[in-house]
Amino acid sequence: MSTKTAHRIFTTWIFASLMAACGGSGPPAECPPNVHPAFCTARPGDGGGGGPVNDPAASAGLWEGSTSSGRQTFGAVLSDGTYWFFYTLIGDFSRIAGLAQGTATSAGGTLTSTNGLDFSLEGMGATTANILGTFVPQTSLSGTIRYPDESVSFTTSFTTLPSATLSQIAGNYRGEAAVVSAPTAESLSVTVNASGVIGGTTANGCNFAGTATPRTDVAAVFDITLTFSSRVCALGITTVRGIAIYDTNTGQLLSAAVNPGRTDGFLALVTKQ
């Protein structure tokens, strides 16, 4: 295993290279766990209008920007409301320090997430990180991330990457990866074939296999499933699910996935050889 800390993860990647209330007169409805009460419309027969209808696709896309804590951020909001935002070290935009992940509602220009988690590579583990923000579709997204002991504001702009197919991402890759519960960067070798089958091995002999499936809602984004098959893996024997973002300009594949209980996460950046 590499002795480099998470502060040295993804050193070959310059972060910027990827980045070229409401109300109603009727009684409130029961809300799903991840939906802010203000966004629940009235149930049929309640006799009143509800608030704006949740439309997760309204905020879908790739977003890049910065936070009030001095970090850069880049990530994706998917059409089902799931979001994956990578962020850098404070003051060092070439190194990734963690991931904010959860599911958001998008209604009336307001984005809310009440199940957000911050998966830190700086030794903080997985921490509650809920979001309240505003957005203009395909233009801007900004707001506040609320941690247990502080709040951090962020401002991002809509951005795009060229569309990518499975045949385009097929190839051999090398790079680095880290796990939230053991955030020491390891070198990583990955293969992806034209059918989306993934195979990978880390420096300490951790093997994993999985699949990549292109999404149709956000260009250059793939759903990934990875199964770790050895107890030498920092995640143990488990399956994680997440996304990968491919930049055809640089040949870099940036990925993140979390375990079923969302208690741990895997982040990797690899470059096509």
d(CA 59, CA 104): 9
Q: How confident is the model at residue 235 (pLDDT cuts 50, 70, 90)?
A: very high
Note the pLDDT of residue 94.
82
> Region 86-105: what's the mean pLDDT?
92
Q: How confident is the model at residue 15 (pLDDT cuts 50, 70, 90)?
A: very low
40-44, 118-122, 208-212, range with the lowest pLDDT: 40-44
Q: How much is the pTM?
A: 0.83
And the tokens for 122?
């700086």
What dihedral do alpha carbons 100, 75, 229, 124 form, nearest 10°? -30
Q: Which domains does the chain have, with CATH numbers?
A: 15-20+53-159 (2.40.128), 162-272 (2.40.160.90)
CA angle (99, 105, 109) in 5-degree steps = 105
What dihedral do alpha carbons 255, 260, 264, 267 form, nearest 10°? -10
Where b means 16+ CB within 10 Å and e means fewer, 179-201 reads: bbbebbbbbbebebeeebebebb
pLDDT tens for residues 196-228?
999 999 999 999 999 999 999 999 999 999 999
Contact 239, 227 (CB under 8 A): yes
Note the pLDDT of residue 163.
95
Q: How confident is the model at residue 95 (pLDDT cuts 50, 70, 90)?
A: confident
> Region 45-55: what's the mean pLDDT?
64
CA 83 and chain centroid, separation: 5
Mean pLDDT over the full length of the chain:
86
